[in-house]
Each structure stands twice: as C-alpha cells, then as structure tokens.
Structure 1
Amino acid sequence: MCRINPRVDFAFKKLFGSEENKDLLISLINAIVSEEDRVAEVELKNPYNLADYQAGKISILDIKAKSEQGRWFNVEMQISEDYNFDKRAIYYWAKLVTEQLSEGMMFRELKKTISINILDFNFIPDTLEFHNCYKIINTATGKDDKLHDVFELHYIELRKFIKPYREITTALDRWSTFLTKAHQLDKLDVPEQLRGDPAIVKAITAVDRMFDEDERLIYETRMQALADVESKIASAEEKGLEKGREEGMEKGLEKGLEKGKEEAAHAIARNLLKQGLDHETIAQATGLSVGVIAALAEAGESAGFP
C-alpha cells in the first residue's frame, strides 16, 4: 500500500514537480486540459528542491511549468478547506501572467496561462461535476470568441469524484482515483483499470519510496500541522455552535462560531510561529492575513516568546 498521501502538498510537489517525474506532470496536465492545449514537453519553472524548502525559501507548494508552445501552467494541490480559494486562484494565475512580462516580453507576446487547482474539499456549489473549467466569455452571446483566450482556470474537486473502478474511462478518472485511493493501491497488484496507464503505475511505485529521512520528517510535520488545523477548526465550530445554542439566537450562533474560529486560528498561528514557519505559510494554513500573522508575531516577541 502507498504509505504517503499524495494529496499533501509537500508530497504532491515532489511527485509532480521533480525533474525525474516530469512525465507524470505532463500526463496530469493532459488529462485535464483540452486537446489543443495538451503538451509533449514542459520546463519546470520552480522544480522541487528540498534545500530551498528547508531554508524557508518555499512556502507555497504550487508547480509552475511552461510548455514547448509557450503556454504556462500553474498546478496546485489544496488539502485544507478554504472558502476564499477562488480569489487566491485568480491571484496566483495573475502572478504567473506578470512573471511572463518580467522575462522581458511585450504584451502582445503573452501566452495562454492555465491554472489547475486540485481541491480535497467541495467548493463549487450546485454542481456534482468534479471537474469545472472557467474561461472569459462574451456575456451577450454566451460564447467564447477567443478574444481573451489567455485565461483558463480549472477546479478538480476530489470529494465529488465517486466513480467505482468499473466506471473509470478517462485519464482524469485514473488520476483522480490515484489521488483519492493511493492508500489502497499496491504496486504489486494494480487494478486492471489503472495498470494500462504507465504514468499511473509509475506514480504508484514512486509515491511508495520517494522520501528520504529528512523529507519524511517534513512530510510528517506537515501532516501533523494540517491535522491540528482541522481539529482546532472543528473544535472552534463546535464551541461556536454551543455558544449560539446557549444564547438561543441566530445572531449569537453566527457570532459565537466566528469568534471560536478566530480564537482557534490565532492559537494555531502562535503555535506555528513558535515552530519557525514563515508568515505566508501560516496564513495559508490558518486563513488569517499575513498582516494578522505579523501582528501576532510582534505581540509574541513583546511577551518574550520565541
């Protein structure tokens, strides 16, 4: 069985963002984008580097790649629930566009930039589809007239992927099965619906042996941090709900819930600051702003905490 959860961002980054696994990234991209945007080769713009991560130079574990046609891709795995992820996705898409210009390009040379966001939580309401694609369209005609074809944003909601093995037909089905059922997969007994895909077979084998001792420590620390966040948020929600019930008013319920969430987020942030994590990583984990994290850090220093 796979001992590493590939949905954890640190593991996802090494699995799909390493030079030796570029073929896996290419397969994943091609499973999601349209036929015209599929790639044969990519250049990793921020390849996995353990030393950079240990030195605190990497806080957001997205994967940036450029295809041989010049198209740019941003691929990110998000395991923690974030109801503002739509804004974050647009922000990182825009950053990738501006990075093209920073390479000395003129506006007319801007290439299509595709953002792929794989979420381990339900995000898009009123749809059971697990893969949704957003483009800029003409609202008068309801059509994509290709006038603004540099924008494309994909959401893959893994919690909505519920196909049994017998219904797996596409490459995206296979990758979604791998990401959601890695803990059940055995490299010596790969299900029939997956074993015909060399990329999936390689991923199952790779994820079982890809960490050395230092990397496993980081992975386990990241797993624990994510578990702590989930636990404290759940406790905060329960506390807020109980407070709301005691007050017997809808306003009290909302206020208690929000206060409980805020208190839990602050407590988590203080703990992560003591562990030496950078402000942006803590903001991502807790949902607090970088400004709030900085204020908590300053308050901690004033109180004599490390």
Structure 2
Amino acid sequence: MCKINPRVDFAFKKLFGSEENKDLLISLINAIVSEEDQVVEIELKNPYNLADYRAGKISILDIKAKAENGRWFNVEMQISEDYNFDKRAIFYWAKLVTEQLSEGMMYKELKKTISINILDYNFVPDTTEVHSCYKIINTATGKDDRLHDVFELHYIELKKFNKLHHEISSTLDRWTTFLTTAHQLDREHTPKELALDKNIVKAIAAIDRMFNEEERQVYEVRKQSLVDAESKIASALEKGMEKGMEMGLEKGRDEGINAASKTIALNLLGKGIAIATIAEATGLSVLEITSLSQKTSIP
C-alpha cells in the first residue's frame, strides 16, 4: 500500500513537478483541459528542488509549466480548506500571466494561461460535478466569444468524486481515483480500470520510492502540520458556532489557525527541525518562529 499521500502538496509537487515525471503531469493536464489545449511536451518553470525547501524559498507548492504550443499552466494541490481560494487562484493566475512579459515585449505576445486547482474539499457551490471550468464570457449572450481567451481556471473537487471502479470511464476519473485512494493501491493489486493506464501505473510505482530520508522528514512535518492545523481550525469553528455570532466565528477561525501554527512550530523546534523548514510547513515567518524560540528558550 502507498505510504505517501499524494494529496499532501509537498508529495504532489515532487510527483508531478519533477523532470523525470513530466509525462505524468502531461497526462494530468490533458485529462482536464479541452481537446484544443492538449499538450505533447512541457517545460517546467519551477521544477521540484529539495535545496529550495532547505533554504525556505518556497511557500506555495504550485507547478508552473509551459507547453510546446505556447500555453502556460499553473497546477496546484490544496488539501486544507481555504474559503478565499478563489481570490488566491486568480492572483496566482495573474502572476503567471505577468511573468510571461519581459522588458520590451508586447501585450500581444501573452499566451493563454490555464490554472488548474485540485482541492481536497468542497468549494464550488450548488454543483455535484467534480470538475468545474471558468472562462470569461459575454454576459449579454452567455457565450464565449473568444475575445478574452487567455483566461481559463479549473477546479477539481476530490471530495465530490464517488465513482466505483467499474464506473471509471476517463483519464480524469483514473487520476482522481489515484489521488483519493492511493493508500489502497500497490503494483500487485491495481484495479484493471487503473492498470490499463501506464501513467497511473508509473505513479503508483513511484509514490513510495520517491523520497530519500531527508525528503521523508520534510513530508512528515508538512503532513503533520496540515493535520494539526485542521484540528485546531475545527475546534475554533465549533467554538465560534456555539457563540452564534458571525464575527466570533471568523475571529475564532483566525485565532485557531494562528494558535495551531504556533503550537506546531514549538513542537518542531523542540525536535530540532530547521527554522526554514518550520516556516515552510506552518506559514509562519522566520522572524515569528525565531521569536517563539527565544521566548521558550529553545536553541
């Protein structure tokens, strides 16, 4: 059985954002985008690099890639609930658009930019569909007149996927099954509906052998921080709901997130984990963690 959860963003980034696994990223992208946006080859713009994690340079574990047809892609796995993720998704899409233009380039050189967001929670309201796609349309006609075709945003909501193996009918179904049931899969016991896809087979084989000892430690820290944060947030939400006040709920959520992050940081400091790694796992700044260390006399 797979011991690594591919939904943890650190694992997701290495599995789909490494040079040796570009074929897996291509398969995932092609399972989501339209026929006209299918890609054959991609260039990773921010490939997985453990040195970046050691240096604390990476805070968002997204994958940026450019296809041979000029299309740009931003792919991100989000495991923790974020009710402002729609704004964040637009912000990172916009950043990738602006990064295309170097000094002296013209706006006409901007290429279509597609944001793919895989969420391990329900987000898009009033739909049971796993896959939701957003474009800019003409509100008078309700049609996409392709006047603003540089924008496209996708949400894949894993919690809404409930197909049984015999109901799997598409590549997206297979990737969604892999992401949601990796803990039940291994090379010797792979359902035939998944075994027919060489990319899924490769992903199953790769997921448990892709980390060395240092990477596994980072993965475990990241995974635990997500679990602890969710627990603290849930407690804060429950307390806020008991008060029956919207302001109290929002304040409780914010306080819960902050308290969870600080508790996790203190635990990791006590284990001798590097401050840069703790900052990456908790979202706290290096300065905040250094201050915590000084206040608690942790070296």
TM-score w.r.t. the length of structure 1 is 0.88
The one-letter code of the counterpart of 1:20 is E
The one-letter code of the counterpart of 1:59 is S
The answer on whether the counterparts of 1:76 and 1:116 sit within 8 Å (CA) in structure 2 is yes
Q: Which residue of 1 aligns with 2:226?
A: 226
Quote how far apart the aligned CAs of 1:270 are: 2.8
The one-letter code of the counterpart of 2:252 is G
Query: Structure 1 pair 139/281, CA: closer, same or farther in 2 (3 Å)?
Result: farther
Q: Which residue of 2 aligns with 1:105?
A: 105
Quote how far apart the aligned CAs of 1:271 are: 3.7
1:144-159 to structure 2, matched below 5 A, reads 144-159=144-159
Q: Which residue of 1 aligns with 2:51?
A: 51
CA distance in 1, matches of 2:87, 2:276: 23
1:103-252 to structure 2, matched below 5 A, reads 105-242=105-242, 244=243, 250-251=244-245
Quote how far apart the aligned CAs of 1:68 are: 0.4
Q: Secondary structure, in 3 states, of the residue corresponding to 2:189?
A: coil
Q: Secondary structure, in 3 states, of the residue corresponding to 1:82?
A: coil
Quote how far apart the aligned CAs of 1:256 are: 3.6
The one-letter code of the counterpart of 1:75 is V
Q: Secondary structure, in 3 states, of the residue corresponding to 2:101?
A: helix
Quote how far apart the aligned CAs of 1:161 are: 0.6
Q: Which residue of 2 aligns with 1:270?
A: 262
The one-letter code of the counterpart of 2:251 is K
The answer on whether the counterparts of 2:54 and 2:276 sit within 8 Å (CA) in structure 1 is no
CA distance in 1, matches of 2:164, 2:70: 37
Question: Which runs of 5 or more residues in structure 2 are unaligned?
Answer: 270-274
Question: Which runs of 5 or more residues in structure 1 are unaligned?
Answer: 245-249
Q: Which residue of 1 aligns with 2:29?
A: 29
Query: Structure 1 pair 2/294, CA: closer, same or farther in 2 (3 Å)?
Result: closer
CA distance in 2, matches of 1:295, 1:56: 13
CA distance in 1, matches of 2:21, 2:224: 26
Query: Structure 1 pair 112/280, CA: closer, same or farther in 2 (3 Å)?
Result: farther
State how many pairs are aligned.
Answer: 291
The answer on whether the counterparts of 2:279 and 2:286 sit within 8 Å (CA) in structure 1 is no
Find the partner of 2:253 among 243, 252, 261.
Answer: 261
CA distance in 1, matches of 2:184, 2:263: 33
Query: Structure 1 pair 138/273, CA: closer, same or farther in 2 (3 Å)?
Result: same
The one-letter code of the counterpart of 1:129 is E
The answer on whether the counterparts of 2:279 and 2:289 sit within 8 Å (CA) in structure 1 is no
Q: 1:196-215 CA deviation, whole Å, 9 max, x = no partner?
A: 10000000000021111001
Q: Secondary structure, in 3 states, of the residue corresponding to 1:4?
A: coil
Q: Secondary structure, in 3 states, of the residue corresponding to 1:23?
A: helix
Runs (4+) of structure 1 exceeding 6 A deviation are none
Quote how far apart the aligned CAs of 1:305 are: 6.7
The one-letter code of the counterpart of 2:5 is N
CA distance in 2, matches of 1:182, 1:83: 26
The answer on whether the counterparts of 1:59 and 1:278 sit within 8 Å (CA) in structure 2 is no
Query: Structure 1 pair 180/70, CA: closer, same or farther in 2 (3 Å)?
Result: same
Query: Structure 1 pair 103/30, CA: closer, same or farther in 2 (3 Å)?
Result: farther
CA distance in 2, matches of 1:115, 1:299: 37
Q: Which residue of 1 aligns with 2:13?
A: 13
TM-score w.r.t. the length of structure 2 is 0.90
Q: Which residue of 2 aligns with 1:247?
A: none
Quote how far apart the aligned CAs of 1:303 are: 5.5
The reply on whether 1:4 has 2:8 as its aligned counterpart is: no
